[in-house]
Structure 1
Amino acid sequence: MQLETTIEYLLAEWGNWAVDGLGLMLCSQSEGKYSEIDDSTALLVDQAIALLGQTHPKAQQVIELYYRKQLSFRKIAITINVGETKTRHMHISSVAWLEGHLMAKGLLLQRAA
């Protein structure tokens, strides 16, 4: 069993936060998913993902489709017109880039042992 790194948990929470309407409490039905991330942290993650997209737009799409839309790698591969293996590699490298960027910005992340 592989343990998830804190960055993957943070990205999953960012995805829930983004789907919930950027932390706004609107009068609408919720799907039962509540984000445990605060708005300032989520905005830092959002900014990092936007920065990733400036140089690697497909990598940004992979992150957004995986964490916001919760699509499988197979469906993401079809959407962005690349192979599934390439999509998985893009996901891994994008998560690593985001982790490094967020650590450099002072958002402390710890890896699972």
Structure 2
Amino acid sequence: MKQKYRIWKKEKGNKLLIQEYAVLTAESRKQKVPGLQNEDFSLLCEQTYLADEVAKAASQGKDELILLLRSQHFYPIGTYMNLIAETVANMFASSGEHCEDLVFDDREILMGA
């Protein structure tokens, strides 16, 4: 499965937003990741966090940040979660608004690529 995580540090409202998307159609699943468009992905989950809580957890280390970010509805596999946590920590290490998309293909993990 191809997944995308949109991570957005929003200055307005002082929040962090993480949206989890996946390619659900058979037609789009056959495409390579670079060829996929935003409309090929369907929103699966959206999580919002208070920026102060995220900054505090990030200052305590990656494990604390992961504990904060994971929930019953948002629980990416370890490999993805580590990259998500690193991205969030980097966003909170600098000022201003940031938005980044992380795109993964489970086949790469399964095949060891």
Output the TM-score relative to the length of structure 1.
0.30
Instruction: Kindly indicate which of the two structures has a greater share of residues assigned to strand.
Output: 2
| TM-score w.r.t. length of structure 2 | 0.30
Specify which structure has the higher proportion of helix: 1
